[in-house]
Each structure stands twice: as structure tokens, then as C-alpha cells.
Amino acid sequence: MSTSAAGRVARLSRGRRLVFACGAVLGVLLLLEGGLRLAGSGPLPRRPINTNAALLYQYTKFVPSERRLWDLAPGWIGREGQGTVRINRMGLREREIAAAPLPGTFRLLCLGDSVTFGYLVEAEEAWPRRLEVALQGAATEPAQTINAGVPGYSPFQELDWLREQGWAYGPDGIVVGFVLNDVVERYLTLAAYGGDSTVLGVDTTVTLNPLLRLVRRSALHGTLTRLRRVQARRREEYSVRRLFDEPLSEPVASAWSATEQELAQLAGEAAGRGVPLLLVLFPFRFQIEERLPARPQERLMAWARQHRIAALDLTPVFAPLGRAGLLDQDHPTAAGHEAAAQAIATEILRLGWRPRRGA
């Protein structure tokens, strides 16, 4: 046999051994996957496990989104606590609003998460609608607010929604409701950032490539995740309380940097269109009750001043209200929403915002 022929045979043999080895590994993995499923150790659930039919019904108000992970389901109607939730045909907790505002109308777009959405309160009690009422009573022109809050959203999702849908409403100004968990919750719940695969009943692995999505949904991945208890460590590492540490841990410092970059993009998007933006910071109840130094808010206010972004810290507004202002750790009561709206209206009037369209 010639030297070249012998080389081809050797390469062919190596190729066959490699194929055989890959096949053997795949076979072992498939056997493990099948065995784990038969033993009852399946993949991590793709939605929260709960036998409460009323609670499970709430998850139907979300639909998957390739870009934002989830959106509100257009036309959904249901209950949350004592509040009725109606999602309009555009996927907002709002009245059916024409895209083009009336001339002379002062229109504000309110971005945020469940605090802006108005968790457990009526739509008319949430701060965006109360802001409309406050401005109507103080300004000379008609005012209209649009509640674009979506539970669980963070600035990167708000920016994407603004680019895709928000500008069509022709806002004269943008108010961004910012809650401290915007900094850390992506690392707890969003698969694309390494967190859990499910949030708010929506499978967030839609953002992963097909191979990673398959791995995430395997029993082997679920079993290893449970054994390592990675999520428990993440929840401690990325707790909102860690934002009050001095100095900050490296993961939390990195999370802050990512958040500030996203907020800068959001402000830049508005500035590029000549639309003013106000960043509104909501507090957590534990920081008020424990009288913690407001380091997270102070950091963000200093950052906003440095970048010439208008910002308002509502911690002094909520502090006198105590538990009368917050239903839980971060969601305002109707009284809390009213106090927030009054403070935001005062700041907007101080900033001198006006309609961009003449009467």
C-alpha cells in the first residue's frame, strides 16, 4: 500500500472513531435524559406551577415576543386584586387611543413596569392617569397620558417598545418609571441574561438559539440546575438589598453599568427626536421602614445630572406615607399613586414642558 493510501486510511479511521465517539456520547446523554424523565425529574417548568386557577388565568394576559420576551395580550380582560384590567387592541392598559394626538393636546408617554401598569389598582388610580388629571388641573392646554407600563419590563424592553410602537403616538414628553429591581431582576428571570427560563408565565427561551433552547428544556439541564442550586445563589447575589451595599459586589456593579447604558440609550433616543424625558425613581418599602441611606437613588440621580437627564426621586414623597403608600415592597397603593402623580406633575410644570403642536 502506498504512503498516500495509508494516510487516507488512517484519516478515515480517525474520522470513524470520532463519529463513533460523538455517537456514543450522544447515546449516553439520550439515555440519561430518558432515565431522568422516567424517574420523574423532568426539565424546569416552562411556567410557574400553581393550582390556583385564578392566578394561572392571569398569565394569559402575556404573549411571547421575540424582541422584548413578552408583551401584553391585546384585548385581554381580567381581575387583579380589586382592580379590573383591560388591555386595548394595541396591547396597552389604556383606553383605545388614536395614534395622532389632537392639536394643542399635551401628550405624555409613560414607560415602566408593573408599578407604572398599576398592579392591584384600577387603571384610573395608577399614576399615569392621575398625572393626566393633575396636569389637566394645572396646565392651560388639554393633557393626555398613555400608560405603556408592562409588568416585568426593564429599560431595554421599554426602549425597544418605544422604537417599535411608542413614537407613533407623537408624545410631547416621556416619563420613565424606574424601580430598583430594574437593575437586578433580569439576572433572576430572563433566560437571555442567564436567569430562569420563565417569567410572568411566558417562556423567555424564545430569545435563545435553537440548540441552547433545547438544552434549557432538557431534564438533564433541569436536574443539574436543581443540584447546583444556582438560582438560590443568584437570588441572594442579585437581591435588591445588595444595591444598598457599600462597596458593591462585582456582579451588582456590572448590573448597574448595564442599566445606566440602557437608560442612556433611552434618553438619547428621546433627545434625538427633540422630546424631553423625565426619569422617575420609585423606592422600596424596606428602605423606608429601615431608614436606609438612599444610595441607589443617590447614585442614579448623580448619574442623571452628569448626563443632563431630568430625574425625580420619589423616596421623600413616599417616606411620610409609610405602609399607606405601598401595597407590598414596591407597588403603590392608590394613595401612593396619587402622591407620585402630584410630584411628577409639579416637576413637569417646573421643567416647562409644553405641547410641540400648536392649537
Residue 191: predicted pLDDT: 80
Q: Check if the beta carbon of residue 231 is closer than 8 Å to that of residue 198.
A: no
Paired with 177 in beta bridges are 280
Alpha helices in 172-229, H assignment, sequence order: 181-184, 186-189, 210-216, 219-228
CATH label of the domain that carries residue 273:
3.40.50.1110
Half-sphere exposure of 144 (CA within 13 A, CB side): 21
Q: Check if the beta carbon of residue 242 is closer than 8 Å to that of residue 249.
A: yes
Compute φ and ψ for 26, nearest 5 degrees. Answer: -60, -40
d(Cα 111, Cα 171) in Å, to the nearest integer?
12
d(Cα 341, Cα 338) in Å, to the nearest integer?
5
> Which cell numbers in the block locate residue 235?
437570588
Residue 310: predicted pLDDT: 98
Is residue 229 a part of any domain in this protein? no
Q: If you write DSSP's letter for every residue of 92-152 in order, what string do you get?
A: SSS----SSPPTT-EEEEEE-SHHHHTTTS-GGGSHHHHHHHHHHHHSSS-EEEEE---TT
Residue 228: predicted pLDDT: 63
* Mean pLDDT in consecutive groups of 10 residues from the start of the chain, 359 residues: 56 68 72 69 61 70 90 92 89 91 89 96 96 85 94 95 96 97 88 78 81 80 69 76 92 94 97 97 96 95 97 97 94 97 96 71
Question: Cell 387583579, residue?
Answer: 80
3-state secondary structure 47-90: CCCCCCHHHHHHHHHEEEECCCEEEECCCCEEEECCEEEECCCC
Paired with 62 in beta bridges are 72
Instruction: For the chain, give the number of residues.
Output: 359
Is residue 50 a part of any domain in this protein? no
> Which cell numbers in the block locate residue 359?
392649537
Instruction: State pTM to two decimals.
Output: 0.86
Residues 310-335 as b/e (b if ≥16 CB within 10 A, e otherwise) read bbbbbbebbeebeeebbbeebbbbbe
Strand 198-199 and strand 173-179: pairing? unpaired
Is residue 358 a part of any domain in this protein? no
Is residue 129 a part of any domain in this protein? yes
Residue 237: predicted pLDDT: 79
Helix, strand, or coil (residue 332): strand
Compute φ and ψ for 112, nearest 5 degrees. Answer: 160, -165
Cα 117 to Cα 10, 38, 272: the distances in Å are: 66, 42, 26
Is residue 316 a part of any domain in this protein? yes
Is residue 4 a part of any domain in this protein? no
Residue 36 amino acid letter: L
Paired with 178 in beta bridges are 281
Residue 359: predicted pLDDT: 41
Q: How many domains does the chain have?
A: 1
**Domain containing residue 313:** 74-185+238-351
Is residue 23 a part of any domain in this protein? no
Is residue 67 a part of any domain in this protein? no
